[in-house]
Amino acid sequence: MAAAGAEAPRAWCVPCLVSLDTLQELCRKEKLTCKSIGITKRNLNNYEVEYLCDYKVVKDVEYYLVKWKGWPESTNTWEPLSNLRCPQLLQQFSSDKNSFLSRVKKGKAVTPKNSRKSLPPAVAEYIVKKAKQRIALQRWQDYLNRRKNHKGMIFVENTVDLEGPPLDFYYINEYRPAPGITINNEATFGCSCTDCFMGKCCPVEAGVVLAYNKNQQIKIKPGTPIYECNSRCRCGPDCPNRIVQKGTQYSLCIFRTSNGCGWGVKTLVKIKRMSFVMEYVGEVITSEEAEKRGQLYDNQGITYLFDLDYESDEFTVDAARYGNVSHFVNHSCDPNLQVFSVFIENLDTRLPRIALFSTRTIKAGEELTFDYQMKGMVFKNNFIGIGFSMTMKASQTNVEGKRNRAGGGHTK
Ligand SMILES: [Zn+2]
Ligand SMILES: [Zn+2]
Ligand SMILES: [Zn+2]
């Protein structure tokens, strides 16, 4: 990873080696507020419950051990229930306690715990871990939404285990070219249609048909490239040939799967069939570099390497460390997303953008998946790629027909 490792750290991401507790203490001493570490004007002067850590009954009075927002754990105090005005946190505490107990007990009957004078240490420990996880995931969710530049919101949810946010993942909205690689984002051609549905529009100039119908659904076959209107075109933002460039419109949720597949992505709203869902972005590296990284990565890392083999084999997208929501989309042999390559500002056929479209109607709450190996993509030396000569299993399309329509330039 020499090339990547040698990169100088950016000024805005200098790591802070001081613990959160110490930072909070310093802030409090100096009477400074800092929202991102939880010190607000409100809790600088008043006490605010961050979460509840433990429970006991003394002389028939119920007490909860309180972690105060913006204060270190060493200042936690036991408070009688009558002092607490945090019904949601009490509810959370009790549901975490019950979920732990039901997991431990499995089949055994759970005896009511109300009569107990205190919680077993393992239960309290779990409750605190869960509370800390919730705060960390909320912070990560805030970060993702601050970074994203599209309409759809990003939610994060883990009701399955104690896994927190990934430690080495940075959200990006577009390709991040590695040093030495330039992506020319100034289109050299634009259309001058009055109606991009009718005119001699950008796709026609490129030798393909317009990719979308009037309902913003994709109508071309996988393997055919999408040419969208760009900044040189005379049409406005409402042009029907501007879809991928508007970004993800749907609210999506990165969630912990219960079947051992780690993180996954589900949609929180219904997605119409053949609709644009998200782009696949990452670092753009040379395929040579990808070869090197592929050897260093474990199996999981390798699946983030996506060959841009539309026309040449020069570049690969690596979404392992830098990516968007697509980083978390799982593989399925029966996927509901398929891959298309897209040209907008950049018309360099060595560097297509990758867009994921729905193959069918996707219900709210359904997990999104794409096939790392099929559906217009191929496995090649363990890498995934667009593989334009590949055919979709389900659609039984004629491979030669697609080649012709894509305008040649295929290596296979
Ligand atoms: Zn046009
Ligand atoms: Zn247009
Ligand atoms: Zn155009």
The rounded Å distance from CA 249 to ligand 3 centre is 22
Q: Which residue has the tokens 């607000």?
A: 40
Nearest alpha carbon to residue 254 among 357, 143, 372, 176: 143
Q: Which residue has the tokens 């993509």?
A: 377
Q: Which ligand is nearest to the CA of 239?
A: 2
Q: Which ligand is nearest to the CA of 192?
A: 1
Report residue 312 as tokens.
């040449």
What does the radius of gyration of the chain's CA atoms come to, in whole angstroms? 26
What pTM was computed for the model?
0.82
Task: Give the whole-angstrom CA distance, residue 290 versus residue 122.
Answer: 45
Question: Would you state the pLDDT for residue 281?
Answer: 97
The rounded Å distance from CA 89 to ligand 2 centre is 51
For the stretch 104-147, pLDDT in tens is 776 555 555 555 789 999 999 999 999 999 999 999 999 999 99
Higher model confidence: residue 377 or residue 140? Answer: 140
Q: How far is CA 90 from CA 49, 67, 86, 271, 313, in A?
A: 11, 13, 6, 36, 57
Report residue 240 as tokens.
């029907």
Higher model confidence: residue 46 or residue 370? Answer: 370
- Looking at residue 101, the DSSP 8-state letter turns out to be H
Task: Give the whole-angstrom CA distance, residue 28 versus residue 49.
Answer: 16
Task: Give the whole-angstrom CA distance, residue 139 versus residue 167.
Answer: 13
Question: Would you state the pLDDT for residue 410?
Answer: 29
The rounded Å distance from CA 175 to ligand 3 centre is 22
Task: Give the whole-angstrom CA distance, residue 79 versus residue 268.
Answer: 39
The rounded Å distance from CA 410 to ligand 1 centre is 26
The rounded Å distance from CA 201 to ligand 2 centre is 7
Residue 379 pLDDT > 50: no
Instruction: List, in sequence order, every beta strand (DSSP E) within 74-125.
Output: 77-80
The CATH architecture one would assign to domain 16-147 is Beta Barrel (2.40)
Q: Which ligand is nearest to the CA of 199?
A: 1
Question: What does pLDDT average to over the chain?
Answer: 85
CATH C-level class of 154-406? mainly beta
Strands 353-358 and 176-177: unpaired
pLDDT range class, residue 313, cuts 50, 70, 90: confident
The domain ranges of the chain are 16-147, 154-406
Task: Give the whole-angstrom CA distance, residue 248 versus residue 144.
Answer: 13
